[in-house]
Each structure stands twice: as C-alpha cells, then as structure tokens.
Amino acid sequence: IAIIVIDVATFVVPPLLPAVLTSINASAQRRLKNKDIYCLNSSYINFCGALSVVCFDKTGTLTEDSLDIVAIVPCENAMLQPAVNNLKVLPYGPMLVALATCHSLHLVDGEVVGYEMDMKTLQTIDWKLEEPKLGEPVPFDKIPARIVMPRNVRLSSTSLGIVRQFPFESQLQRATVVVMAANSNIFHIYSKGAPEVIQQMCLPETVPESFEETLESYTRHGLRILAIASKALPNDTTWDQALHLLPRAELEYDLHFRGFIILQNKLKPESVSTITTLEDAGI
C-alpha cells in the first residue's frame, strides 16, 4: 500500500514543482526590489499573499525612538492644575525639581550621558549637571555625587545635590532619588514612574479625585504618562542614613502626589503613507 501511495504522490506532485516555485519567488523578489521593498527570505512571499492584517511594534517602527515631553500637569493640595506646555516657564517647585534630579544622568569625559529623554528634559528646562571633585567647595555639608543647577548660574542657593539614586527598573516601573537643596539640612525623596505604581506609594489624601479620569483622557490620545511624587525626610535624617542606611522601601512610602508628565512618541514622517498604502491594498 505504501508503494502505491508513493507512486500516486509522484504523479500528483510533479518533480519540477519545487523548482518552479523557487523561480517564481525569485522573480517576485526582484519585482519587489525594483519598488524598494527588500525581502531577505523569498519563501515568505507566498505567505504574505494571504495576509489580511499587519501588526507593527510601535516604538521605533511607526514612531521615533525618543519621547518628548509635551506638557506638565502639576498637582497642588490634591487638585490638578492647568497643564504647562512650555517647560521653560515651569515655576520652581516639586515638578521642576523632579525633572532636574529624578534621572540617572552622569558625566563621561565632560559629556552628559544617559537616557535621551532625560538629557533632552535637562536641556529644555535649561539646567546643567556637574560632578564635583573631592575638595571642591560646594554649598553642602558633604560633597554629593552630582549637582544640578540652572545653566545661567554658578553654584548657588538654587543648586540641588543628588545624594542617592535608584535608577529606573522595568520590574519596579519607577526611579527614585534622594535630593538635598543647597544650604539646607533637609533631604527630599522624588519618585518618577508609572502612574498606577506611583499612586500606590502616595498618601491617599494627596491623590486628586480626577486621577483616573485625567490619566485615561491622555492615554486615549496615544500619549504616554509618568507620575511624580515626593516627600521630605525627617529633620534628624543624617547623611549616612540618606546615602546608604535607609532601605528603599522606607524611602518610597507616604509620598505626596505632585503631578503628571505627558509624553509623546511622534510618528515617523513615512508612517502615514505606509499605513495608507496598506489600507488601499485592503490590508
């Protein structure tokens, strides 16, 4: 019986069929290349003929790799304030301090390196980052690892020392820093991360009632949202405690909600025409 099946299969599937399919795929591949469509594996051309839906990974494919801050929505006394679209006019306060300090930027050969969004933010608010050397005079009891300040001033009362950093972790969905202002003895905690994560870390009475509604209204427009929270550590907190003795869990609780950062992942210039072409093809 097996011999009969093989014999029948030989007649049903001509020996030249694979070669014919290969030549057809090669011809299709050349025609696609003439239209600036490059196919690395011609065997997938046949599969594409049956496609009715194409799914894209958005970031870096349909959109640019970077994120841009389009607005800041501060929160005062558990009430969301009007959005600030121009970061250059953002008044000095928790949101501005968070933008200037809550990151993992550092200097390499005098150049600021780190996440592109954080570098662009520091540039937009017109602040600068410095890493003081041992023995260099600073307006702090001890020399912090990094200092940020407005770009148009030298070390002054507006300087902020970044004493301790907890860089962003995807599992925790947040980043946190311990900060001290110049000529002060009070340490402050600033956390930045996913809104639902930051909300759980905040005192309920500091979270606005319109939290969910505002968050949904922005996300429905394809915008990405980060939340900011902060608090002051007790007055008797020492440098050693702030620098390494206090555990992260003890720092990141009973925070005060400070507002939202609204981010936009802009479309690449060619994305609209590409999607239009696919729609015109019935895909």
Which positions are catalytic? 57
Two tokens, residue 273:
């025409």
Distance from the Cα of residue 115 to its chain's centroid: 8
Phi then psi dihedrals of residue 116, to 5 deg = -60, -40
The C-alpha atoms of residue 96 and residue 252 are separated, in whole angstroms, by 19
Two tokens, residue 113:
């390196």
End-to-end CA, the chain: 46
The C-alpha atoms of residue 106 and residue 112 are separated, in whole angstroms, by 6
Contacts for 134 with CB less than 8 Å, ≥ 6 apart: 143
The C-alpha atoms of residue 76 and residue 84 are separated, in whole angstroms, by 14
Other C-beta atoms lying within 10 Å of the C-beta of residue 87:
18
The C-alpha atoms of residue 279 and residue 224 are separated, in whole angstroms, by 26
The C-alpha atoms of residue 160 and residue 140 are separated, in whole angstroms, by 9
- Residue from 144, 242, 240 nearest 190 by CA: 242
The C-alpha atoms of residue 150 and residue 155 are separated, in whole angstroms, by 9
